[in-house]
Structure 1
Amino acid sequence: MSRLVFSDVDETLITGKSMFDFLGFYFTRRHGAKGTRHAERTRRHLNGMLSSGVSRAEANRAYYEAWKGQRAAEVAEWGARWLAVRQQQEGFYVERTRAELMRHRADGAVIVLVSGSFPAVLAPIAADIGARHLLCTRPEVRDGVFSGRIVGDPVIAEGKREAVRGLLRRYPHVSPGDCHAYGDHLSDLPMMAEVGHSTVVGGDPQLLAALAGARTISAQ
């Protein structure tokens, strides 16, 4: 193994936003109409935060407040169900990104998913594509139940940079210049700036402007 390949998830590896999609999927199917209302309130609250200029990192913290009181093991089981259902629907993965990650893995690279989402959602995806590491936001669990807080910092923007650097330290024989990163949004820039080869999925002009010479692939 001579390189790591880091990939954002939402709108980079998959076409949708995993956190919001799973929020509605879980609460509606697990808690019925009451759960649907809870998910809708949470979505409106988070959209309002972002519209008012709150950072993505702070909105990420607020997202996990919605999970307070849910049993972590049960949520993880529902995460596997969510992926099974979504994979039956056309267009779940960004196929170009998925194919490139599969090629990297076949060439001996270590695949790493980097996301502000959480293990209940991301672990099934990681298993499906053969990712070895998952760098993500971790909800705090007390007595098997989500507390509504997170452990450490959100893996958003600068949090992605720190997570990538931390993992690279565990692979001292790997040169960051030989590694790859895939992302779709300016918030992925801190992660992508840490490696030698960047691929922008979907052509975000701000991200392309910040990454001179980066490759671009379609998000379709």
Structure 2
Amino acid sequence: MTTVAERARPALAFFDVDETVIAHKSMVEFWEYWLARNPSRVPEQVGDLRAEAAASRNRAALNRRYYRRYAGVPLADLEAAGRRWYETYRRGDAAFVRAAVDAVAGHRAAGHEVILVSGSMMPLLEPLAQELGAAGVLCTELVVRSDGALTGEVHRPMIGESKAEAAVRTMRERGVDPSDCFAYGDHESDLALLRAVGNPVVVGSSRVLNEEAERSGWMVVPAGRGPLRLESA
């Protein structure tokens, strides 16, 4: 028999962010925004980020290299720039994945806690989390010097297995049953996260994820893009 305490225990819904909730890669979009406004702060010998991302198969190593671009930047400056970038980004007519934003609203209406899980950084994710009403963010954590500036290093990229481990840890801390929880992802690097819960949802057309969805009976939703609409949240 289900007890009152068990009924009150919330389920969690974990959402990858880039190309799952928002329609683009936040780190790339923000870098181009930052580059245009802070040319004097860009390290020498920094190559084209889109080309580097396309050529790399090791997402964790790429994640670490990305954050080294911000070595020496005060965290407060990056946070302010992240808020300004998001305020511009959120107005785009094709900035969000419609099915995922609708799912966020549906989970919140059902009383579930929404948790964003991303290799991106808090200065970019916090404004999004606030707007969506997310209860938490699991992301790549930046190493900050005693003077408040970034070292350029990170504690651990929130990529691949790290997402699953963080989700499992969060479910244990919240005292929820993984079989009651949900996860949404668009890329094969989200596979471990999807397998960590009882209700995985594939967003979009990743061959690896769609094949797994067909084998395992997972839900698949389209990655159609549109503007941000929160009326049902």
TM over 0.5, yes or no? Answer: yes
Q: 1:130 and 1:38, CA in 2 relative to 1: closer, same or farther beyond 3 A?
A: farther
Aligned with 1:25 (options 25, 33, 50): 33
* Alpha-carbon separation, structure 1, partners of 2:132 and 2:32: 24
Q: 1:129 and 1:38, CA in 2 relative to 1: closer, same or farther beyond 3 A?
A: farther
Following superposition, the deviation at residue 218 of structure 1 comes to 0.9
Q: 2:179·2:197 contact (CA, 8 Å) conserved in 1?
A: yes
Gaps of 5+ in 2: 1-8, 225-233
Q: 1:182·1:199 contact (CA, 8 Å) conserved in 2?
A: yes
Letter in 2 for 1:46: E
Match of 1:193 in 2: 195
Following superposition, the deviation at residue 198 of structure 1 comes to 1.0
Following superposition, the deviation at residue 47 of structure 1 comes to 3.0
RMSD: 1.9
Match of 2:12 in 1: 4
Following superposition, the deviation at residue 80 of structure 1 comes to 0.8
* Alpha-carbon separation, structure 2, partners of 1:15 and 1:138: 23
Following superposition, the deviation at residue 150 of structure 1 comes to 0.5
Note the alpha carbon deviations across 1:4-55, whole angstroms, 9 max, x for none: 00000000000000001001112312x24x56796972516733750xx4x1
Q: 1:38 and 1:218, CA in 2 relative to 1: closer, same or farther beyond 3 A?
A: farther
Note the alpha carbon deviations across 1:119-177, whole angstroms, 9 max, x for none: 010111100101111000011011210101012x21100111111111111112x1100
* Alpha-carbon separation, structure 2, partners of 1:165 and 1:154: 16
Larger radius of gyration: 2
* Alpha-carbon separation, structure 2, partners of 1:144 and 1:125: 23
Q: How does 1:115-154 map to 2 (within 5 A)?
A: 115-142=118-145, 143-151=147-155, 153-154=156-157
Q: 1:36 and 1:149, CA in 2 relative to 1: closer, same or farther beyond 3 A?
A: closer
* Alpha-carbon separation, structure 1, partners of 2:44 and 2:33: 12
* Alpha-carbon separation, structure 2, partners of 1:48 and 1:198: 27
Letter in 1 for 2:221: I
* Alpha-carbon separation, structure 1, partners of 2:43 and 2:94: 27
TM-score (normalizing by structure 1) = 0.91
Does the residue aligned with 1:99 lie in a helix, a strand or coil? helix
Match of 2:159 in 1: 156
Does the residue aligned with 1:117 lie in a helix, a strand or coil? strand
* Alpha-carbon separation, structure 1, partners of 2:45 and 2:159: 22
* Alpha-carbon separation, structure 1, partners of 2:44 and 2:51: 11
Match of 1:15 in 2: 23
Letter in 2 for 1:2: P
* Alpha-carbon separation, structure 1, partners of 2:24 and 2:66: 17
TM-score (normalizing by structure 2) = 0.86
Match of 1:89 in 2: 92
Match of 1:203 in 2: 205
Q: 2:43·2:69 contact (CA, 8 Å) conserved in 1?
A: no
Match of 2:230 in 1: none
Match of 2:185 in 1: 183
